């Protein structure tokens, strides 16, 4: 069934249609939640919260074609709210790779995460969404609700700081 048809059904209260939409991109949702939460259980909790918010508010979705960017924005907000609520501090021992590892060498990823954690949250966020999630600038702009130019600016500044921290220079 086409995505737009599923969205229309979900907007009319069809739970199965909403779950089909979510299951279609479940790996992307999970990876996005994991980028923020850093552990499987918290990522799954954030996903559950997202599903509840989606179900309660899908009738308010104005543009059907925006379903996935809208749902990812809800997921990001859910993750941020959970982190803020828990004032979560993550130790390196707690960090595990998610299913569907996106790094060929886990040791490289740990080193990269260490340097990435020295950046401001706004710089970490765009770098993770761009390079861990492989989202394009427009989607990042929609998910974070910031202008496209701000996404590019934060990404450029974050990459420059990351490169300097790693002892190199950053070329755009």
Reported as a single tens digit per residue, the pLDDT across 138-155 is 989 988 889 999 999 999
| Average model confidence (pLDDT) across the chain | 84
Q: What are phi and psi of 135, to 5 degrees?
A: -85, 145
Reported as a single tens digit per residue, the pLDDT across 47-84 is 999 999 999 999 999 999 999 999 999 999 999 888 88
Counting Cα atoms < 13 Å in the Cβ hemisphere of 52 gives 7
């Amino acid at each position: 069934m086409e995505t737009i048809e599923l969205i229309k059904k979900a907007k009319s209260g069809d739970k199965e249609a909403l779950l089909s939409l979510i299951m279609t991109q479940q790996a992307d949702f999970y990876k996005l939640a994991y980028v923020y939460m850093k552990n499987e259980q918290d990522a799954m909790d954030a996903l559950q919260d997202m599903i509840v918010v989606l179900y309660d508010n899908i009738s308010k979705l104005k543009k059907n074609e925006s379903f996935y960017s809208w749902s990812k924005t809800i997921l990001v907000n859910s993750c941020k709210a959970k982190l803020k609520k828990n004032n979560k501090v993550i130790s390196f021992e707690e960090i595990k790779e998610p299913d569907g590892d996106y790094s060929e060498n886990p040791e490289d990823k740990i080193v990269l995460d260490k340097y990435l954690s020295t950046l401001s949250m706004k710089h970490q966020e765009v770098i993770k969404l761009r390079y861990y999630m492989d989202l394009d600038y427009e989607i990042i702009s929609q998910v974070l609700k910031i202008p496209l130019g701000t996404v590019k600016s934060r990404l450029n500044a974050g990459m420059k700081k990351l490169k300097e921290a790693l002892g190199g220079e950053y070329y755009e």
